[in-house]
Chain A
């Protein structure tokens, strides 16, 4: 188990390096750079000096400098700089990417965590109850609602919730960020598709598990129905949910651009898109790397949870079967 985790942790830098290289190649291939589109044309000398300062004139040097800045433990230990330096932003020249991402990542993470919390705390009980009471009205209603949740894009549900709660009922503020009341609508909107998926996966897993022998044994032993369902059955029915939770939480944490644009939230997603639109190479690389790191770590977390929940699964062997 520990060997496996260490092995995976050692692969992570390699995966991130490949992603970095691919992103770099794509960012280079996008034509144009932000130094040529100011309000006033710079004189050629100044232009060249600015480009040299940001290493925009030599892609090869930029590639290595940026890569070197990504992990500098010695410099950080001596207090000379941050551990991970994402470089200065090309577009917002008085900001570094660390500052921009540092201010927007907590917003996205807060929103994403709330959304995932709502999704799991509603989705799992609903899935369990509808599996236990199969073919009852509760089952049909929740299945129907889950289908609606999966089939509606978030920009539709977001807009609908926005109109209903802020314009029709005026219970909540229209948009912005900073108070608790700003969090509810985007978090609920973001959680809806995840909630629907979790409910469906839990229900399917539960139906599988409830038909298995060890549940019958537990029933024969005279355990209470409550204990069988919530303790013995749920533990195994949880597996497909776990494998879904990994990528889903990563996607929710790093923010969905659509939701941020509907509710006007200063999250990571907007910098992501603005980076591409401004040809801000440092920003593009920074956001993609942050996003990828979160994704990679969550995937690892899922695999570890897998073995903890179900010791029958040997991740070490199933990886390269």
Chain B
């Protein structure tokens, strides 16, 4: 008897919305593979000095211990801002750790002991044990450049879509919540932005400002918020008519609090799907811009400009073509897979069938 009662209870207790979605998401193998790959990319970009740099992770040099590669993780790379400095001999650019260290000194090297900027004598080399993916036209190790290029793709994806999400949710939310004139004005703005050739906007701003990675991120963010705003608007319109919002209003809760504390968490999931696809798109846009030479500027590595070099030296060194292609493809595909899975997980119509 108690058993039946238990079963009955467990079936009727309402499950938290997010936990439900998460459970369905976890069952989707492709989506989870995508998510794992995205997390893997984040880890790679975070710990890229441990994977590829020309300084040892741990070493004993002239009786002292040094951790140059670990310090490099904490330096915000490629911007020149240094929170922690490396200890003396290792912070000098002319100090070549590979030559200075004695073989009997204890040293743990990264997986690929070349940095992304380090030029060697054999350029356009084919893959070998020394250079896993070969070298580019200046003799830089391709594997190291691909690994450090991950950082840029991750950054572009998250920062630009982060900007887009803030603008999109704010404007979409305002339009959906207030309706009336606010809605009309914001909808017209969205319409105009949609009709505006984004590529021109990016080019114009790139000519105007200096083409660097931060400007690329800002520009992509400022032009890609329209679809997020439309989803957010639709969700806010749907939710603001529900009873609990009317109750909240009757209690005299401030509008801003209703919008952000009560509506936003419930409106977030469809927006999240749009954000996921937005990230995939942003990576493609960045790669395209860098390919054209308007994005990340050399010598900083990005998958797009590695591909550009590969395209220019295609006849001599076709092996350079594959790694950046595969990297871009896998990154974009994993975001797309995760987005698909997320959409399936939160779509209420599919709940009964799967």
Contacts and interface: CB of A to CB of B under 8 A. Distances in A.
Interface in A264-304: 272-273, 276-277, 284, 287-288, 291-292, 295-296, 299
Contacts of A292: 195-197
Contacts of B192: 15, 18-19, 22
B133 interface: no
B146 interface: no
B307 A156 contact: yes
Contacts of A321: 237
B35 interface: no
Interface in B230-261: 237
A257 interface: yes
A52 interface: no
Contacts of A151: 280, 328-329, 332-333, 336
B292 A258 contact: yes
B195 A15 contact: yes
A208 B187 CA distance: 28
Interface stretch (A26-34, A83-91, A228-236): A26-34
A156 B328 contact: yes
Contacts of B207: 30, 276-277
Given A258-B291, A295-B194, A320-B183, A27 B204 contact: yes
B311 interface: yes
A148 to B, nearest CB: 7
A156 B325 contact: yes
A26 B307 CA distance: 31
B238 to A, nearest CB: 11
A163 B314 contact: yes
Contact of A296 (B187, B195, B314): B195
A159 interface: yes
A320 B187 contact: yes
Interface centre among B183, B284, B321, B328 (most CB of A within 10 A): B284
Interface in B251-286: 280, 284
Tell me whether chain A's interface is mostly helix, strand or loop, or mixed.
Answer: helix
Tell me whether chain B's interface is mostly helix, strand or loop, or mixed.
Answer: helix
B41 to A, nearest CB: 14
A29 B321 CA distance: 38
Interface in A141-188: 147-148, 150-156, 159, 163
Interface in B153-188: 183-184, 187-188
B333 A26 contact: no
A155 B200 contact: no
Contact of A15 (B184, B191, B201, B203): B191
B190 to A, nearest CB: 11
Nearest to B349: A208
A172 B46 CA distance: 45
B202 to A, nearest CB: 10
B311 A159 contact: yes
Contacts of B321: 159
Contacts of B83: none
B200 A288 contact: yes
B195 A299 contact: yes
B336 A150 contact: yes
A295 B196 CA distance: 8
B200 A276 contact: yes
Contacts of A291: 197, 200
B337 interface: yes
Contacts of B200: 23, 272, 276, 284, 287-288, 291
Given A291-B197, A295-B195, A153 B287 contact: yes
A247 interface: yes
A276 B204 contact: yes
A76 B332 CA distance: 50
Contacts of B237: 321
Interface centre among A31, A211, A272, A321 (most CB of B within 10 A): A321
Contacts of A254: 197
A153 B314 contact: no
A36 to B, nearest CB: 16
Contacts of B333: 147-148, 150-151
A276 B183 CA distance: 34
Nearest to A273: B203
Interface in B324-347: 325, 328-329, 332-333, 336-337
Interface in A17-53: 18-19, 22-23, 26-27, 29-31
B139 interface: no
Interface centre among A26, A147, A156, A211 (most CB of B within 10 A): A156
Contacts of A272: 197, 199-200, 203
B208 interface: yes
A147 B337 contact: yes
A205 B207 CA distance: 42
Nearest to B294: A273
Contacts of A22: 192, 196
Interface centre among B184, B197, B314 (most CB of A within 10 A): B197
B194 A153 contact: no
21 contacts: A15-B192, A18-B192, A22-B196, A26-B204, A29-B208, A30-B204, A30-B208, A148-B329, A150-B280, A150-B332, A150-B336, A151-B280, A152-B328, A153-B284, A153-B287, A159-B314, A258-B291, A258-B292, A287-B200, A295-B197, A319-B187
Given A15-B192, A153-B284, 6 more contacts: A31-B208, A150-B332, A153-B288, A155-B287, A276-B207, A291-B197
For the complex of A and B, 8 pairs with smallest distance between CB atoms? A151-B333, A151-B332, A291-B197, A295-B195, A276-B203, A26-B204, A292-B195, A156-B325
Interface of B: 183-184, 187-188, 191-192, 194-197, 199-201, 203-205, 207-208, 237, 280, 284, 287-288, 291-292, 307, 311, 314, 321, 325, 328-329, 332-333, 336-337, 349, 353
Interface of A: 15, 18-19, 22-23, 26-27, 29-31, 147-148, 150-156, 159, 163, 208, 211, 247, 254, 257-258, 261, 272-273, 276-277, 284, 287-288, 291-292, 295-296, 299, 319-321
